[in-house]
Amino acid sequence: MNAIERPPCTRALERSLARKTLFGRDVPGASCHIHPGGRRSSRRKRRKLRTPRALVLLLTILSACYESYPLLDFEDEDPRADAGLPPRDSGVDGDGNGGTDEDETDTPDPDTPPDCAKASARFITNIVDFEFGPGQNHNQESGFPHALYGPPRANDTNSVVSLGNGGFVIVEFENNIIVDGPGPDFIVFENPVPHFVELATVSVSNDLITWHEFPCTAAQDGPDYGSCAGVGIVRSHPDNGIDPLDPTVAGGDAFDLADINVAEARYVRIQDREDLVGPAGVFDLDAVAIVNARCP
Ligand SMILES: [Ca+2]
Ligand SMILES: [Ca+2]
């Protein structure tokens, strides 16, 4: 019986015979025929052939995609870039020491006291994050973010920026921190024109992770607005002598950290009430002022 006339060896018998000779060479006197080239060697060849084919196919697809969209510029579609703001945090805390990696370059040294001496440190000096909603876009292009900085400007519609329905903004005050002192601790200025009630929910945080919310429980038509921003008319303007840091005369909506059992806060988030809509249903932010600062 020659090699071709013998039946193929079983896998177990083939392995046994392979110890005595090379794959692909029949053992004289064996009752079966060893698979030419051996099973293992043929598998290895198939693996070697598949890898370069897959790479060539992947590179071909990537090349075709790039050639189809060579002029696509994502930065042009990013409102954060247009407003001169840094990219949104990734939420990644690579070294596990709290906060996100992007925040850490901005984290103040705890041994350095906040600079509260400047009058500007009582008002918004930086936009940490934002997202505009639909419906209204007043001053989003030309006024944001600088219109939100500094003191309120009563009756000046150019000093406010619409958040859009459901939109939000997170603000901070250079190195200053809001603390729970006597009475109201900060004021949110929204409404420069009488008879417009456009409501938002106000929250505070020290780390941008844990937020404490003032209960904005307003219904569509009031009259009980709860602890919402956007109710009180703005009275103060740099030209009229009304103190923007005095809650009894400044106007706007004052908030007391004691009402939500918070001792201090570095960030304020203001978010339009998405469920309240209509002509007067979108919040326009003018300014935020710290009444009780850590080192006034
Ligand atoms: Ca207080
Ligand atoms: Ca709304």
Task: Give distance in angstroms: CA of 244 to centre of ligand 1.
Answer: 17
Q: Write down the pLDDT at residue 63.
A: 52
Task: Give distance in angstroms: CA of 278 to centre of ligand 2.
Answer: 8
Task: Give distance in angstroms: CA of 3 to centre of ligand 1.
Answer: 97
Task: Write down the domain spans for the chain.
Answer: 115-296
- State which CATH number among 1.10.40.30, 1.10.287.70, 2.60.120.260, 2.40.110.10 fits the domain covering 115-296: 2.60.120.260
Whole-number Å distance between alpha carbons of 289 and 140? 21
- Give the type of residue at 10: T
Closest CA to 17 of 35, 41, 44, 43: 35
Task: Give distance in angstroms: CA of 261 to centre of ligand 1.
Answer: 10
Task: Give distance in angstroms: CA of 276 to centre of ligand 2.
Answer: 4
* Number of the ligand closest to the Cα of 265: 1
Task: Rounding to the nearest 10 degrees, give the CA dihedral for residues 119, 123, 128, 132.
Answer: -150
Q: Write down the pLDDT at residue 75.
A: 42
* Number of the ligand closest to the Cα of 198: 2
Task: Give distance in angstroms: CA of 175 to centre of ligand 1.
Answer: 19
Q: Residue 213, class by beta-carbon neighbours within 10 Å (0-12 exposed, 13-18 middle, 19+ buried)?
A: middle
184-222: pLDDT as tens digits: 999 999 976 666 788 999 999 999 999 999 999 887 666
Token digits of residue 261? 């059992």
Using 70 as the pLDDT threshold, list the residues of the chain that sit under it.
1-117, 192-195, 220-222, 278-280, 295-296
* DSSP codes, 149-168: SSS--TT-GGG-EE--TT-E
Q: Write down the pLDDT at residue 191.
A: 74
Task: Give distance in angstroms: CA of 198 to centre of ligand 1.
Answer: 24
Token digits of residue 242? 């009304």
